A and B are shown apart, each in its own frame.
Chain A
Amino acid sequence: MRWAATAWAAVSIAATTMPICAAAATLRIRVLDLAGRPLKDAVVYAVPDSPLPYTKPRTAIIDQVHRQFAPQVNVVQVGTYVDFPNSDNILHSVYSFSPAKTFVLRLYAGRDEPPIQFDKPGIVVMGCQIHDNMIAWLLVVKTPYFGKTGADGSVVLRHLRVGDYRVHAWDVGMRKASAPRNLPIVAGAPPHQITFRLKAGRMPQHGPTMPGMSAHHRM
């Protein structure tokens, strides 16, 4: 038992010191539409070719505020728990038919639901059975290196370890993420930069449709 604890401690230290070690690099990603305008709230993620050290699952929050999800666009690593706290305190019935996670979560006023673990990679589209226009997206990705673009269409991923990566970008309305861009991260180089040009998605006015009704939001 003792050796196991020691090994675990060593892994923990490696994981926590990893961000400040000299071999970590920074990646700046810009996401533009086909006309060259910056895309806000696009998701980017960099998947390393080499296996990642184990990290304890995290918990993210997708709230319900004024009959809409907040935030509407989300990205988490596989294994992350997502809490749905429901700040509205009226009934919401959050559901997903996406293959990556199928669920119905009835968020009653006055009752707290346990978080849901997202254990498979993919794109999860969520709606509310009560309120038609609620819609949110959750990208579940096999990497801790992810981010969402700001108003200028750019995002910086930090603390990437040296190695080969496949970098993807995704925007609302895309049925799957972009084809990967291969990127070797090398030590001591200036910040790496990548620009994606995506066909801009349109924000739908309604939640996901039932399976079989339309293929539009099924991933």
Chain B
Amino acid sequence: MPIRPRPMTGLRVLTAVSMLAASVSGASAHPSLYAQMGGTKVVAAFVSVTIDQVAADPKLNQSFRDVNLGRVKRELTSYICQLTGGGCKYTGIPIRAVHANLGITQAQFFGLVQILRRQMRLHHVSLRDRNQLLALLAPLEPDVVDVKVGPPPRKH
């Protein structure tokens, strides 16, 4: 008779979830990077100021024209939360699709990173945590900078 896996009890589910979160943050005994930075309160705060400053900077804000900034802040906070083991599930639009054909330059990308770096510091995120987050965000560059997508094949 085959052994059937028992359904998970609440406690076992909880343990599995916390193990998963711990493995994402990279250190099983330590809190996640998200928690170390100060959790949603701090992350949402430095994301909000960063987006406001980028949107107000004429050299950086070309892709933010007419954009709902509140939504950008919410989605970016959720994305960072997922990326840093904060236990969120990012349900927003894929990063590459969001930036397609917006013509964002590398200088604009690094301009945002500079503001983000400064705001993290002003929100008392440690140097080590700042560098960890920037290292996690760096691979996004090809999905943000100069993403060109052609027109869809017309069906008519």
Contacts and interface: CB of A to CB of B under 8 A. Distances in A.
A89 interface: yes
A91 B150 contact: no
Interface in A61-102: 67, 89-91, 93
Contacts of B112: none
A108 B67 contact: no
B102 to A, nearest CB: 6
Contact of B155 (A108, A109, A112, A131): A112
B65 interface: yes
Nearest to A113: B152
Given A89-B101, A93-B93, A109-B101, A131 B152 contact: no
A91 B100 contact: yes
Contacts of B68: 129-132
Contacts of B155: 112
Main secondary structure of the interface of A (DSSP, over half): loop
A111 interface: yes
Dominant SS among interface residues on chain B: loop
B71 to A, nearest CB: 6
Nearest to B153: A112
Sort A-B residue pairs by CB-CB distance and give the 4 closest, nearest first: A109-B100, A110-B149, A112-B152, A109-B149
A151 B102 CA distance: 35
A133 interface: yes
Contacts of B149: 89, 108-110
Contacts of A67: 65-66
